[in-house]
Amino acid sequence: YIDQFSRCLYVEYKRSGIDVQCQVPLYVATKMASIKRSSFLVPSTDGYARAAMRWIGYEPRCTPYWPHSLLWGLIHMLPESAVDAWRLQFCLAVRKKGQLKDSRKKE
């Protein structure tokens, strides 16, 4: 939704000199993502922000952290059903980890 909405805004306002860009990351090491340590494929918030700032104004849609761009390229070669199954399993595992953490806090 955000990607499509951003693209529509870009197309509508480009003639008025207003650029709209949708940056599409993969995972970034944040509390919200439940990823504590950064790595080559998972940048820190500062690392991602530096990459994101370099891409402002170049393309209406981009993946500014180059290892993420590489992964997106590989992901697009796979069948969509396989990617969806992986995403679901990954997100369910993150949710379960968060629920376990919350239950420990209550004890």
Domain ranges of the chain: 1-78
What is the C-alpha to C-alpha distance for residues 6 and 2, in angstroms, rounded to an integer?
6
- The pLDDT tens digits of the residues spanning 38-96 come to 999 999 999 999 999 999 988 999 999 999 999 999 999 999 999 999 989 988 988 88
pLDDT of residue 31: 81
- The pLDDT tens digits of the residues spanning 16-36 come to 999 999 999 988 998 877 788
Which tokens hold the place of 101? 């953490």
What is the C-alpha to C-alpha distance for residues 71 and 28, in angstroms, rounded to an integer?
14
pLDDT of residue 10: 95
pLDDT of residue 97: 83
Q: Which residues contact 42 (CB under 8 A, 6 or more apart)?
A: 26, 27, 28, 29, 35
With DSSP H G I counted as helix, E B as strand and the rest as coil, what are the percentages for the chain, rounded to 5?
60, 5, 35
pLDDT of residue 98: 79
pTM attached to this predicted model: 0.71
